[in-house]
Structure 1
Amino acid sequence: MMGNLAKHRELILAGAILVLLALVTLRYPGFIAPGNLVRVFDDTSILIILALGQMVVILTRCIDLSIAANLALCGMIVALLNVAFPGLPVPLLIGAGIVAGGAFGAFNGVLVWKLGIPSIVVTLGSMTIFRGSIFLLSSGQWVNAHQMTDAFKDFPRATFVGLPMFSWFAIAVIVGFVLMMWRTRLGRSVYAVGVNPTAAVYTGIDVGRTQFFAFVISGMVAGLAGYLWVARYAVAYTEIASGFELNVIAACVIGGISIAGGIGTAAGAVLGALFLGIVANALPVINVSPFAQMAISGTVIIIAVVFNARAERKKGRIILRKAEAQA
């Protein structure tokens, strides 16, 4: 039943994206040109990557408000490493960002797991810590394009089989998350913890440990996104991606990821991010004001929350009916 509900939501969202594209095409036919659609996907790749990481955390009944601050801190770390050691290969710098992000995610996870502190409190605090750490690391200075090596800046922009590396990173992360959620014990544990933590314990699943690994995964994708963001815009500073965590959460909610946990798929998170990416790229083209864009995005989020709440109530009624039948 959960799978059918998820598919239903994803089909509706996919249809909404097609309708949005059709409406934009009426005003600007060139928007659906293959080259432009590739650019839209490329522009949305970082949001897709972060939404998938946030999805895993939300599925376990937690939330990561520090994901954008983690991105910014990891971005500054790899930028400073590139300046201090210009000979370091780019893959090694990317690996350093992923490891650092995972460590910062583990910091959140330990506090939630071992101390039982609500995740919203933990990540609100760590968000401030991460932002402050950027200032301390950089002494408040920016790392600009002329300080970065050409290899550091050019690698994400390189194309392979007609697609930029940004897009390939997003595709690789999507495939990885789909496989993890449906083919691994961790993925099944994430859903079990979100649906019913008490029942998960009786099946031998450690709820706290599962939430810990969810935060580590969220941190790792934030570390990857940190490099991609800094390399793309060729600048690193304290306020990078400030407020971007709201876009990430919005993408998850629009994609059908239930804030109550246990419901949602990687496909839904990707579709939610793509919807926001298309809105951000399409509406300025047809001269829609930024304020109207915000209103449209907010309306869609509210509709998604209402739809998710109705789906959860329906699932609850089904469970109760089954319980009554067995009694």
Structure 2
Amino acid sequence: MSPHRRNPVLAFLRQREIPVAGALVLLVLVTFAVNPLFLSPQSVKDLMLNATIMIILAVGQAIVVITRNVDLSVGSIVGLVAFGTGSIFDVAPGLPIPVVFLIGLVFGAVLGGINGLLVSVARVPALVVTLGTLYIYRGILASWAGSTQYFSGDMPSAFGALSVDTLLGIPYITIMAIVVVIVAAVVLGRTRGGRDLYAIGSDPAAAQLFGIPVTRRILTAFLASGALAGLAGVLYASRYNSVGALTGDGLELNVVAAVVVGGVAIFGGSGTVVGAGIGAVLLSTITSSLTATRVDKFWQQAIVGVLILAAIIVDRVVTLRNIRKLRVSEARDV
């Protein structure tokens, strides 16, 4: 084994999350240099709040993408759960907030489970399934909500306070997002079930031969994605002034972009939820940065597109380099 491979510093720097984190730090520093108010206490709080929903959704999406699938219905699930949260408080204003969170998680898990059953049991491609449920769930929301909107004033003040109150300067809902990232990272990295997801993404057929319960694991991944989208939907109702038929519309594309930019391979088998979370923060910060520097928001889409292409190219280059090294090592052994 070469000295470079034993060097923990070099090993750390080779992590996929490092370039993304570096880009985030550089973006913040450049924006601060142009507009010092960008890092004022209130601006920093707003940055964290703006990234919270995206972080949670990116974690759920990363779990699915690691298995070589994708969930395009998360934006619609967020909309359904967010509007459902407003409906619950309208019908039962005295309902304990933890119960509302539990209902949101279960509601999201059921919607995600429908995706998972169609993908894992019926063997329908995830892209087709979730594209269909994206429109089905959105149609249900449009029919359910109609022109009705629930505003922050219609919900308990303690619920809205989750997005206002802080602990050590960090909003409560952002702390929830951080906990989600930590728990998901531990599960994926330290449990057999988590490692199975990577094996499935790397080679589903080989995973099946090795006795990995592929069907159950993929279903679990979609359940997790749906549950986290449900959590994001409840937090959305707390974070924003109103929820209605258009809540969460188009959110799924930004979530997929955050996951890819965060270093999760779109073809599955590699990446981390930490990287996905950093990617979510980076994309959210880009919007705030452009606003702070008075750059036309049109450029946000172009920048995100460039980041996605760059992430895919880097992933491909790294994959080819690893394959080349493996072949060289095998040739030497022979």
Shorter-chain-normalised TM-score: which range?
Answer: over 0.9
Give 1:283 deviation, angstroms: 1.2
Supply the distance in 2 between the matched residues of 1:122 and 1:6 (Cα, whole angstroms). 38
* Aligned counterpart, 1:73: 80
Are 1:165 and 2:172 matched, yes or no? yes
Percent identity, aligned pairs only? 34
State the distance in 2 between where 1:299 and 1:37 align: 26
Q: Which residue of 2 aligns with 1:215?
A: 222
C-alpha distance 323-238 of structure 1, shift in aligned 2 (>3 A): farther
- Work out which of the residue numbers 180, 187, 199 in structure 2 matches 1:180: 187
What is the rounded CA distance, in whole Å, between the counterparts of 1:14 and 1:152 in structure 2?
Answer: 32
Q: CA deviation at 1:170?
A: 1.0
**More off after superposition, 251-260 vs 14-23:** 14-23
- Between the aligned partners of 1:158 and 1:19, the Cα distance in structure 2 is 29
Matched, 1:102 2:109: yes
- Describe the superposition over 1:154-191 as per-residue Cα deviations: whole angstroms up to 9, x where unpaired: 33322223321121111111111111111112211111
1:305 aligns with 2:305: no
Moved more, 174-183 or 218-227: 174-183
> Greater CA deviation, 311-320 or 221-230?
311-320
What corresponds to 1:42 in structure 2?
A: 49
SS at match of 1:103: helix
Q: 2:61 maps to which residue?
A: 54
Please give the per-residue CA displacement for 1:48-70, whole angstroms capped at 9, x wherever unaligned. 11001000000000000001111
AA aligned to 1:179 is V
| 2:232 paired residue number | 225
In the alignment, is residue 277 of structure 1 matched against residue 317 of structure 2? no
Gaps of 5+ in 1: none
Instruction: Note if 1:141 corresponds to 2:128.
Output: no
Q: Once the 2 structures are TM-superposed, how far is the Cα of residue 82 of structure 1 from its aligned partner?
A: 0.9
- In structure 2, the CA distance between the partners of 1:64 and 1:70, relative to structure 1 (3 Å rule), is same
String of CA shifts for 1:103-153, please: whole Å, max 9, x gaps: 111000000011100000000111111111112333442223343332332
1:23-34, aligned counterparts within 5 Å? 23-33=30-40
User: How many residue pairs align between the two structures?
Assistant: 326
TM-score by length of 2: 0.91
Partner of 1:202: 209
With 85-94 and 228-237 compared, the bigger mean Cα shift is at 228-237
- Partner residue, 1:12: 19
Match in the other structure for 1:246: 253
Where structure 2 has 5 or more consecutive residues not aligned to the other structure, the ranges are none
Cα separation, partners in 2 of 1:308 and 1:6, compared to 1, 3 Å: farther
Cα distance in 2 for partners of 1:257, 1:247 equals 14
Shift of the alpha carbon at 1:296? Answer: 1.7
Q: Equivalent residue for 1:124?
A: 131
- AA of the residue aligned to 1:73: L
